[in-house]
């Protein structure tokens, strides 16, 4: 009964952000051993790209202050384990531990660049330039996150050309992949497709693009469908729907990996993920955090792994 809609990719790479983006936004600090177990379980569920932690200064993100302790505990897993690096100091820390995949995080808007990085957009791009160059020289793959690609809590709708400018700058620096973030979850499918088309027109190929949607207004999965229909084959998601962003108003709820996998399975799109194992992992993590998962699929499947999906 799985009938692909037009021109969908045959395979989607899920870029799992729960262990970083999710746990970063928990009030309670999760023990390092629990984080490591979470990542191991995600890998066991079939996820092949699992963002592990962040080398932001512990003062800003105390929840991930154990990056040096955590990374070596999972480094042997046969999966890609990207880490966030805000600057050269963060890169040094990541490379010293043998990280092979790093990510910088830019903003499409001045307001959020100021709020999140305390810099203008151009100042932040200048900060990233040596990070990207040195990471590439060290043999690392580099992802560039771009926040506020659709709307911004201070500035309202974000023009496509403004996002394209930041994306091109990151590509010119050497970023292998960009992740287009709808940080406050306001995007709708037509806007998604017009941004993707705008990027293509300016020479950024769809193959270099991932999407990162939030479910603040319930739009994450329909926006993902629109991106898949444009050919996007890398989708960010968070196991159990963990996460958000403490510096952005209304930035609740990453797209839940389980809800994404349910749709992709139904569409006959390969992900390599075992939905039962993944759901069990999110139920386990919810137990550690002391609150239920916001993922609708996790709620529906509960602790069982049965489903009637076609």
Instruction: Indicate the residue among 189 and 231 with the shorter CB distance to its own copies.
Output: 189
How many other CB atoms sit within 10 Å of the CB of residue 252? 18
Q: Tokens standing for 73?
A: 């505990």
Instruction: Indicate the residue among 62 and 190 with the shorter CB distance to its own copies.
Output: 190
> Largest Cα–Cα distance of the chain, in whole Å?
51
Q: Is 4 in the site for its own copies (CB under 8 A)?
A: yes
Q: Tokens standing for 86?
A: 């805000």
Q: Is 2 in the site for its own copies (CB under 8 A)?
A: yes
Exposure letters 40-76 (e unless 16+ CB within 10 A, then b): bbbbebbbbbbbbbbbbeeeebebbbbbeebbebbee
Size of the site for its own copies (CB under 8 A): 54
Q: Is 307 in the site for its own copies (CB under 8 A)?
A: yes
Burial of 212 (0-12, 13-18, 19+ CB in 10 A): buried
Stretch that binds its own copies, among 51-59, 115-123, 175-183, 214-222 (CB under 8 A): 214-222
Shortest Å, Cβ 297 to its own copies:
5
Q: Is 271 in the site for its own copies (CB under 8 A)?
A: no
Q: How many Å from the N-terminal Cα to the C-terminal Cα in the chain?
A: 6
Of 184, 239, 245, 286, the one binding its own copies (CB under 8 A) is: 184
How many other CB atoms sit within 10 Å of the CB of residue 263? 17
Of 208, 263, 284, 288, the one binding its own copies (CB under 8 A) is: 263
Shortest Å, Cβ 275 to its own copies:
10
Question: H/E/C letters for each residue in 247-281?
Answer: CCCCCECECEHHHHHHHHHHCCCECCCCHHHHHHH
- Rounded distance, CA 256 to CA 258, Å? 5
Of 5, 27, 137, 161, the one binding its own copies (CB under 8 A) is: 5
Which of the residues 122 through 181 are near its own copies (CB under 8 A)?
150-153, 156-157, 159-160
- 299 by DSSP, 3-state: which? helix
Which of the residues 41 through 80 are near its own copies (CB under 8 A)?
none
Q: How do beta strands 177-182 and 141-147 pair?
A: parallel
Active site annotation includes 167: no
Of 76, 218, 290, 291, the one binding its own copies (CB under 8 A) is: 218
Q: Is 190 in the site for its own copies (CB under 8 A)?
A: yes
Which of the residues 281 through 300 are near its own copies (CB under 8 A)?
295-297, 299-300
Of 127, 200, 267, 277, the one binding its own copies (CB under 8 A) is: 267
Q: Is 233 in the site for its own copies (CB under 8 A)?
A: no
- Rounded distance, CA 139 to CA 21, Å? 24
- Rounded distance, CA 11 to CA 207, Å? 12
The residue ranges that bind its own copies (CB under 8 A) are 1-5, 150-153, 156-157, 159-160, 184-191, 193-194, 215-219, 221-222, 224-226, 229, 250, 252-253, 256, 259, 262-263, 265-268, 295-297, 299-300, 307-310
Give me the active site residues, please.
Answer: 245
């Amino acid at each position: 009964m799985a009938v692909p809609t037009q021109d969908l990719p045959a395979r989607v790479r899920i870029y799992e952000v729960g262990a970083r983006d999710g746990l970063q936004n928990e009030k309670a600090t999760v023990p390092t051993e629990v984080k490591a177990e979470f990542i191991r379980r995600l890998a066991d569920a079939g996820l092949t790209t699992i963002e592990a932690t962040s080398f932001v200064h512990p003062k800003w993100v105390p929840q991930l202050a154990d990056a040096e302790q955590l990374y070596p505990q999972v480094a042997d897993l046969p999966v890609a384990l990207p880490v966030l690096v805000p600057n050269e100091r963060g890169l040094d820390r990541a490379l010293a531990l043998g990280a092979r995949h790093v990510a910088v995080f830019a903003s499409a808007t001045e307001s959020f660049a100021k709020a999140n990085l305390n810099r203008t957009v151009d100042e932040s791009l200048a900060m990233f330039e040596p990070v990207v160059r040195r990471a590439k020289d060290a043999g690392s793959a580099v992802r560039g996150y771009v926040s506020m690609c659709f709307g911004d809590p201070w500035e309202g709708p974000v023009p496509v050309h403004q996002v394209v400018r930041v994306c091109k700058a990151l590509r010119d620096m050497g970023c292998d992949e960009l992740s287009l973030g709808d940080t406050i979850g306001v995007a709708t499918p037509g806007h998604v497709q017009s941004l993707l088309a705008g990027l293509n027109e300016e020479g950024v190929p769809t193959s270099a693009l991932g999407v990162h949607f939030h479910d603040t207004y319930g739009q994450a999965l329909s926006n993902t469908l629109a991106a898949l229909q444009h050919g996007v084959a890398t989708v960010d998601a968070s196991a159990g729907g963990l996460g958000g962003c403490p510096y952005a108003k209304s930035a609740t709820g990453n797209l839940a990996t389980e809800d994404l996998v349910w749709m992709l399975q139904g569409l006959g799109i390969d992900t390599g993920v075992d939905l039962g194992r993944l759901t069990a992992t999110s139920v386990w993590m919810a137990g550690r955090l002391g609150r239920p998962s916001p993922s609708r699929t996790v709620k529906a499947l509960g602790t069982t792994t049965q489903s009637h999906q076609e």
